[in-house]
Amino acid sequence: MSSPLLVLILEDNLADFDLIVRELGRFGLVARFERVGTEADFALRLLERPDLILAEHSLEAFGNLRALEILHESGLIIPFIVLTGAASEDAVVECMKKGAADYLLKNRILKLGPAVQSALEEAELRRQKVAAEEALRRKNRELEEQYRRAQAASRMKSIFLANMSHELRTPLTAVIGFAELLVDGKVGTLTPEQQDFTQDILANGKHLLSLINDVLDLARVESGTMQFHPERICLPDVIRETIAGVRLLAQERNITLTTDVQMSAIEIYLDPRKLRQILLNYVSNALKFTPPGGRVTVHARFEEGSTFRVEVEDTGMGISPQDIGRLFQDFHQLDGGLSNQIQGTGLGLALTKRLVEAQGGKVGAFSHPGKGSRFFADLPYSADWTQEDFAAPQAPAAQPAPAYSEVQSQIVRA
């Protein structure tokens, strides 16, 4: 059984106090009624956290406006109803501005019960709302603190990886340099067996250096220390030059490597080294997971909103829908099929994602298991540079830039 409510009645007239108590009892309100006549008594009674306050409009000791001020200063959510024998519009407005829940004339005492019930329900809703808002603020503070800790841990990890990668790369570069001297025969002639061993040292050293460079780049992007150096480039030329560097790898694996560059040879403002790195990561990944006799195609086209898309399509084993969301995670490689036979750290796609997003772009992939995959990167470029180029006066001897809307194919065989 719930305990009775505590109702404070600010009333200096005992007869009116008894009238209010009888009317609320008749209405069915189970409560303990306490009459308050002074400001000090009212402030003391507030410490008991009453459920309802009924106040005479003007007491001899202090008025309801002062009572409302004291209630507001306490921070308690308690319904406050003003009762009076006479009413003025200004007095009603002032009381409601101060936070009164209702304002009733004493000659309409029969309306007191419903007004009290409504005020109690409204106060409960307010308390629930305030509690929910406070819980939400507390949860947000906790999440913000967790986020700050996670960010700090991530920065420390990135700094650690960057420092470790640098410390590992320095001696490894020396190992590779000495191995190259041995392979080139600059320190003496090696036997065939020694030559094979030294070439293995050199190949594995370069592979390890490539992995360390990936870790270092990833750490730089995460820590915000990766620097970008945009410059004016001819986008189709950069794409074709980059692809030319992996044609030998495609030939060794008996894979057809093609390009589909559908854009004019205009100059744009972009970091060419990062673009090459993004494109090489995609193409190398496609060549790894495409079986001999397959095809890898590099598409490039301008999109709306001063962006362009590079897309690498392969005819490899494809990716299941449940694995698509895990493609760009750090140190993650998919299981099954050719992926079990491929060596790597799982950093290539993660690094590509970071590089693209750091430049304001986005990455994604589409795939059909057993048919192949399409990996894309949407990158913004400076439209201002392009507009300035077209607006600038052309030299008299300048020839119009060639347009490229072609599919270049090269079928290579082992």
Rounded to a whole number of angstroms, the distance between the first and last alpha carbons of the chain is 89
Statement: residue 406 has pLDDT above 50: no
> What integer pLDDT is reported at residue 224 of this predicted model?
72
**pLDDT per residue as tens digits for the range 229-288:** 888 888 888 888 888 888 888 998 999 999 888 877 777 888 888 999 899 989 988 998
Find, among 28, 211, 241, 189, the residue nearest to 116 by Cα: 28
Mean pLDDT of all residues in 12-30: 88
Asked if 84 and 70 touch (Cβ cutoff 8 Å), the reply is: no
Q: How far apart are CA 245 and CA 199, in angstroms?
A: 21
Closest by CA position to 345, among listed 358, 329, 321: 329
Contact 205, 173 (CB under 8 A): no
> What's the pLDDT at 87?
61
Give me the pLDDT at residue 132, please. Answer: 92
pLDDT at 234: 87
Q: Residue 398: what pLDDT? A: 35
Q: Could you read off the pLDDT of 313-365 as tens digits, one per residue?
A: 999 988 888 888 778 876 556 554 444 444 555 677 888 998 899 888 999 99
Residue 96, SS3 per DSSP: helix
Task: Write the pLDDT tens digit of every residue in 30-39.
Answer: 899 999 888 8
Gap between the Cα atoms of 315 and 373, Å rounded: 7
Query: Treating both helix axes as pointing N-terminal to C-terminal, what angle do 112-183 and 14-27 enclose, rounded to 10 degrees?
Result: 70
Q: Across the chain, what does the average pLDDT equal?
A: 80
Asked whether 288 and 255 are in contact (CB, 8 A), the reply is no
Tokens 């192949």 label which residue? 372
Q: What is the average per-residue pLDDT within 193-213?
A: 84
Query: CA of 158: how far to CAs of 164, 344, 360, in Å?
Result: 10, 20, 21
Tell me, what's the pLDDT at 2? 64
Q: Tell me the C-alpha distance between 100 and 81, whole Å.
A: 6
pLDDT band at 60 (very low <50, low <70, confident <90, very high): low
pLDDT of 394:
39
Global pTM?
Answer: 0.52
Spatial contact of 224 and 387, defined as CB atoms under 8 Å apart: no
